[in-house]
Chain A
Amino acid sequence: MIFAGIDIGSITAKAALIRDNKLVGTCVIPTGYNPVTAGQKVFSALLAQTQIRREDITAIVATGYGRNSVDFADKAMTEIICHGVGAHFLNPKIRGIIDVGGQDSKAIALDANGQVENFAMNDKCAAGTGRFLEVMAKALDVELDDLGTISLSSSAPSKISSICTVFAESEVISMIAGQQKREDIIAGIHESAAARVGGLATKIKLKGPVIMTGGVAKNRGMVKALENRLGITILVGDLPQENGAIGAAVLASRMTL
């Protein structure tokens, strides 16, 4: 039997399919203005990509901030539970997750069965989220995907003192005007974001092994900054951005229809 998970995030929509407890495929598209169409689009794209027919899907679970907009899903679950299930599915040893997405950052503690024990989320503030990094990339005239690589060559990260994204952006602009090195500014941005996100992990006393998920996990510089901040090794799987959708698909497979 085949099961689907659909994760509608604030920036990207993700879909995953599993068959006989094995991952068959995943797909990521920008969410755009309409989360309802994003859900349909990412699902259709994945079906086309894997050449699986709609009627062969036994159950669908939706997650992410747009979870309730996916009207063709059988159930909606929060991304907190889905990331837990997804991480446990890929690596049962995982006890801690740091998930940084477009508008949320969270730390999630798991028990040995992959059930969520506790979680902490950013409060009403974008600092330390994917959106924060996006704003900074724009200010620095750098592609979002290049932030990580560029920051790795920094030897003296700049110090960003503002917590607020808007103030941090103007701080970065004055650093650019002061001709500080781009790699140092970016490394400083990562340290600032890592301080915000790391706080969530320490708040709930996150235990290892820790995996990072969400789109921001693809940023090597951000992972490194978090590792330094927390003094731990952080694992990153092959599909960090799709982890929530994978977890949703696993939950779909556990549904008793």
Chain B
Amino acid sequence: MTDTEPQKDKQKIKAAKRMREIMTAYYMDAMTARENNKKIAWITSGGPVEPLIAMDIIPVYPENHGAMIGASKMGEDLCVKAEEMGYSSDLCSYARADISCAQINGGPIGGLPKPDMLICCNNICGTVLKWYEVQARHFKVPLFILDTPVCHTEYSPEIATYVRRQIDDYIVFLETATGRKLDPDQMVQVGHLALKGQKLWQKVLTTTTHKPSPMSAFDAFFFLALIVTLRGTQTAVDFYEELILEMEERVQAGISSVPHEKYRLLWDNLPVWYQLKWLSKKFSDHNACLVADTYTSAWCSSIKYIDENNFLDSMAEAYTRIYLNNGVDKMADQVLDMIRLYDVDGFVMHSNRSCKPYSFGQMDIMNIVREKTGIPVLMLEADMVDPRSFSLSQADTRIDAFMEIIKQKG
């Protein structure tokens, strides 16, 4: 054993093991749903999952699956397969990977369990509409679309009425699909747990305001899975309580995610799933820690709109006002808040070829951040799942140059 190994073990977050067990159990449940007379709904990552949980329907997330495909470096083959089916290479790589995976049961877990229904909320993008229509035809299952207008400047009364009415339609859709009624008490309980889970997730993320940071955005990309897939369950609440304790212990013991943290950075957009290890090492070698990101914080950015005692009404607003469904000025404000809160030295923006709503407006946000804070901003061109849109040597030079600029300033 070399001297660095115990140090490395010390830096590992212990809760990761428990998290893997929970995710495995969750996928096993979904895989065996039919034998247990349970229904499966595929749902978009920003979709309102709470009514599903309250009705004991298992939610399955093609986007979470997309992330797994990317991280296991299976994205290129599945994207190529979708292109062979006739889909454009300009289509989102999550959509391409999911559409082709459904055809061949490929990917790291041999495809997702078949859905009984599809729930699509367009608060994250417009691509999901056509993507879910394609899957609804393929699996011959009903599709519910929740249309959340973009809040360019405000959440107007018209938007409020329009979205709230659809929540009622959503419940009717679920009751028709399952042949059961939604239990209002159960809904209250799930709403309570969903809010609690989001607050805990927020708390996990803000532990990185501590210097040095006990975890990095790369850890957040991993621990995010529960607040996405199991939001509204006791499991998620218990797990994040445990994770917070561990983070607090790390802060107490002075254990940091990056061994010699000197520079703190903010990340924007989805992760580059197939290059997590390389990127993490690259920044760590520069003694830089990605302490926060706009992506994982999207799953707790609407807390202020949720009213626990009136969950269904407030849910309409909370799901409509998520980060990606806001105008660019609002997004920039949130980025500026994060720069201040986490006290970062630089801002790394992933210009993601797949995710148009996330990448559109980045140039404006970059200029706003540069003007208002003066911190260096790096734009990295890549794609979350399709490695053909990533050039390692170009990314390498850009990150080195970006870090050289930060070091010059420091």
Chain A residues close to B by CB (< 8 Å): 65, 77-81, 104, 115-121, 123-124, 203
Is the CB–CB distance between A78 and B381 below 8 Å? no
Whether A116 pairs with B398 at a CB distance below 8 angstroms is no
Which of B327-384 touch A at CB < 8 Å? 363, 370, 376-377, 379, 381
Contacts known (A116-B405, A116-B408); A121 close to B390, Cβ less than 8 A = no
Interface residues of B in 242-284 (CB under 8 A from A): none
Chain A residues with CB under 8 Å of B370's CB are 118
B298: A residues at CB distance < 8 A: none
B394-A119 in contact (CB<8A): no
B residues neighboring A (CB under 8 Å): 363, 370, 376-377, 379, 381, 389-391, 393-394, 397-398, 400-401, 404-405, 408-409
CA distance in complex: A89, B398 (Å): 23
Q: Is the CB of A81 within 8 A of B405?
A: yes
Q: List 26 A-B contacts (CB under 8 A).
A: A65-B393, A65-B397, A77-B400, A78-B397, A78-B400, A78-B401, A78-B404, A80-B397, A80-B401, A80-B404, A81-B401, A81-B408, A104-B397, A115-B409, A116-B401, A116-B404, A116-B405, A116-B408, A119-B401, A119-B405, A121-B398, A123-B381, A123-B394, A124-B390, A124-B391, A124-B394
Docked pose: A123 CA to B404 CA in angstroms: 20
A115 proximity list for chain B (CB < 8 A): 405, 408-409
**Contacting residues, chain A, for B393 (C-beta < 8 A):** 65
Whole-angstrom distance from the CB of A246 to the nearest CB of chain B? 17
Which residues of B sit under 8 angstroms from A123, Cβ to Cβ?
381, 394
CB closest chain-B residue, reference A120: B379
New A-B contacts (14) at CB < 8 Å, excluding given A81-B405, A119-B405, A123-B394: A65-B393, A65-B397, A78-B397, A78-B401, A81-B401, A115-B405, A115-B408, A116-B404, A117-B405, A118-B376, A121-B397, A123-B381, A124-B389, A124-B391
Shortest CB distance A111–B (Å):
10
| Distance of B205 from chain A, by nearest CB (Å) | 29
Q: Which residues of B have CB within 8 Å of A118?
A: 370, 376-377
Q: Which residues in A have their C-beta under 8 angstroms from that of B401?
A: 78-81, 116, 119
A81 touches B404 (CB 8 A): yes
Nearest neighbor of B397 in chain A, beta-carbon distance: A78
| A79 to B396 Cα, complex, angstroms | 12
Which 7 pairs between the two chains have the least Cβ-Cβ distance? A80-B401, A78-B401, A123-B381, A124-B391, A78-B400, A81-B404, A115-B408
Task: Give the complex CA separation of A117 and B374 in angstroms.
Answer: 9
User: What residues on B are CB-neighbors of A203 within 8 Å?
Assistant: 363
| Residue from the set B363, B377, B404 with the largest chain A CB neighbour count within 10 Å | B404
Report the separation of the CA atoms of residues A79 and B397 in the bound assembly, to the nearest whole angstrom. 8
CB nearest to B381 among chain A residues? A123
Chain B residues near A124: list those with CB within 8 A.
381, 389-391, 394
| Bound Cα distance from A41 to B370, whole angstroms | 42
